[in-house]
Chain A
């Protein structure tokens, strides 16, 4: 059974326009997305800014209430949970954020930072809390003397380890990782990614991994969902999705990813234009104004996610077999590089 299952998850924000606030717009930050995370697995979420990744993370963390749709945790709907049930959920789902300089209180010692979730949630004596803190520090590869220091005495990578230790304090089932390495130095990133993978293997954790760096997401994830303007455009097994993207947006995104070696030559698809405002998304397929394969029907008919060779893709190119032939021809013509 999936640890977490979201179906039809939607979050709209109301935006006031103009000083008098007369006109109202709706930002469809997340618009009817569904995904599930299996125990011990990582779900990677990729997409550009404004695609709804962070809103998705906030919904999963319970920091925002969905406008529509459900999140089920271990089979139980979050909306129907009583106080005890919600408390259990909050303990089971933790987060590690991007900037370890902002996410740790500079006036608290590491000991107090890591113990805080324990003290607020469990009736522990000071000695019990302390020994648990030392265990956690050991788990994330920090010496026990770190407990008595302040965050400013640590480098970025070490701070991120402290943030991870805090997230692990309540033995969660799922950790939301929102850009956990993008604020770190290159030589430190691999340390943290390795640590996260080791912890997953050791503790059977599930991750919701959000990052800009596609290679890091592909490296860390079992499943990937690709988002564009609040919608999932493609989802599937991480490695096959990264190697053979099906949706034209995924294709462009992965072709734009920077190579890891100068001899690595990729067919490069350069998209024109920028991501449109989520306040006023294009009709039909939201990607059609930038899509190199756009057809007439893309402008007025929104494509639904459908099964294409074991993957979910929302694109009219895959509606019928004859279109599949079409994309092969189009792909051959459209390369730039």
Chain B
């Protein structure tokens, strides 16, 4: 065989996630992506001054409602934005390289190879006209120049590692011959096929049944890579993630370690969100609903975007948007209430660096 790809790479999950303690793998600094209408008259600030950090091997959950900008953020990281969207400012440091400055050709070598993404709908992300083997082998052939036989052998190994029964016959079959759970695992196998450093999963389990969800989440976690989970489901975050970023109206309103945020949320939106989910077993309690509706991104209120729905709003919130405060190590909050808890020295006024 003329290429140097070892054909017996083991994709077997290594058990528990390895807590890799290295520097940041991906660092977003003050990143903004806006959708601009053709005449330039309407600007939708889908992602606005977002600063986030994810270390190697870590799992970051990005939570927000529809229209909060979480999916646009994922598309920004991969640089696969629709034509109307522009990255207007900021940096995305991935392994020390700024992805914003990369050319399209350079991005093609990163996408699928070093950063991979799993989309929500497994039926839409698989091509119905190609066999499973072709589709799982494709990134290996494209990115590593492997021959067909080698790539197909690795495809079989990958299918085995995502627990697809009898991978030898499955590789020659088509997506319609698979169940929903199997399709989602195949999409997962494509995602990890080139052993990326970072995997972004956009609502990876919404189309899966509960008992299948549990299988799948454990499978993703077992591979030891850095994961970004984009979801509206706080349960997934509670179960899977180390770090959490809460988005509201295009901004990260709170971020930090998951258990610290669940135990003591700083931003009233995070707090309300946590209180609004029903808990198993206490049916007597009334849920705390967040009144009002999420705002229209094209017509954001002056000041804090959450102010009209906030139950702890005061005058300043309505006129001045809060900057990102850092109340304690690796936590941030965009809320004037956090200002009282933080000393001016660790205040991050729009600079976004820690």
Contact = CB atoms under 8 A, between A and B. Distances in A.
Contact of B210 (A186, A191, A214, A268): A214
A263 B235 CA distance: 11
Interface stretch (B77-85, B110-118, B281-289): B281-289
Interface string B256-289: 0011001100000000110011111111001111
A214 B286 CA distance: 17
A192 to B, nearest CB: 8
B239 interface: yes
Interface in A39-95: 48-49
Contacts of B279: 215, 219, 260
A274 B280 contact: no
Contacts of B294: 155, 185, 187
A213 to B, nearest CB: 8
A30 to B, nearest CB: 18
B293 interface: yes
B309 to A, nearest CB: 8
Contacts of A215: 235, 277-280
A191 B65 CA distance: 15
A136 interface: no
Contact of B290 (A187, A193, A238, A275): A187
Contacts of A259: 235, 238-239
B253 to A, nearest CB: 13
B212 interface: yes
A263 B290 contact: no
A252 B215 CA distance: 12
Interface in B284-308: 286-291, 293-294
Given A185-B294, A187-B290, A194-B289, A220 B209 contact: no
Of B179, B277, B279, B286, most A-chain CB atoms within 10 Å? B277
Q: How large is the interface on A (under 10, 10 to 19, 20 to 34, 35 or more residues)?
A: 35 or more
B232 interface: yes
B218 A260 contact: no
B214 A268 contact: yes
A212 B238 CA distance: 18
Contact of A187 (B65, B182, B215, B238): B65
A211 B214 CA distance: 18
A27 interface: no
A48 B53 CA distance: 37
B238 A258 contact: yes
B238 A197 contact: no
Contacts of A258: 213, 233, 235-236, 238-239
B210 A275 contact: no
A158 interface: yes
A261 to B, nearest CB: 5
Query: Interface residues of A: mostly helix, strand, loop or mixed?
Result: helix
Contacts of A214: 210, 280
A264 B238 contact: yes
B281 A242 contact: yes
Contacts of B288: 190
B203 to A, nearest CB: 13
A127 B19 CA distance: 68
Given A256-B211, A259-B238, A262-B239, A185 B232 contact: yes
B210 A185 contact: no
A239 interface: yes
B245 to A, nearest CB: 15
Contacts of B213: 256, 258
A156 to B, nearest CB: 8
B181 interface: yes
Interface string A169-183: 000000000000000
A271 interface: yes
A216 interface: yes
Contacts of A188: 289-290, 293
Of B210, B232, B236, B283, most A-chain CB atoms within 10 Å? B210
Contacts of B238: 258-262, 264
Contacts of A213: 278
B65 A186 contact: yes
B209 A275 contact: yes
A253 B239 contact: no
B234 to A, nearest CB: 7
B66 interface: yes
A199 B286 CA distance: 13
Contacts of A48: 209-212
Contacts of A221: 283
A42 B290 CA distance: 24
A15 interface: no
Closest 4 CB pairs of A and B: A258-B235, A219-B278, A190-B276, A48-B209
19 contacts: A48-B209, A185-B65, A185-B232, A187-B65, A188-B293, A190-B276, A191-B291, A194-B286, A216-B278, A221-B283, A242-B281, A243-B280, A252-B211, A260-B234, A260-B280, A262-B239, A263-B263, A268-B214, A270-B218
Interface of B: 65-66, 179, 181-182, 209-215, 218, 232-239, 258-259, 262-263, 272-273, 276-283, 286-291, 293-294
Interface of A: 48-49, 155, 157-158, 185-191, 193-194, 197, 212-216, 218-221, 238-239, 242-243, 252-264, 268, 270-272, 274-275
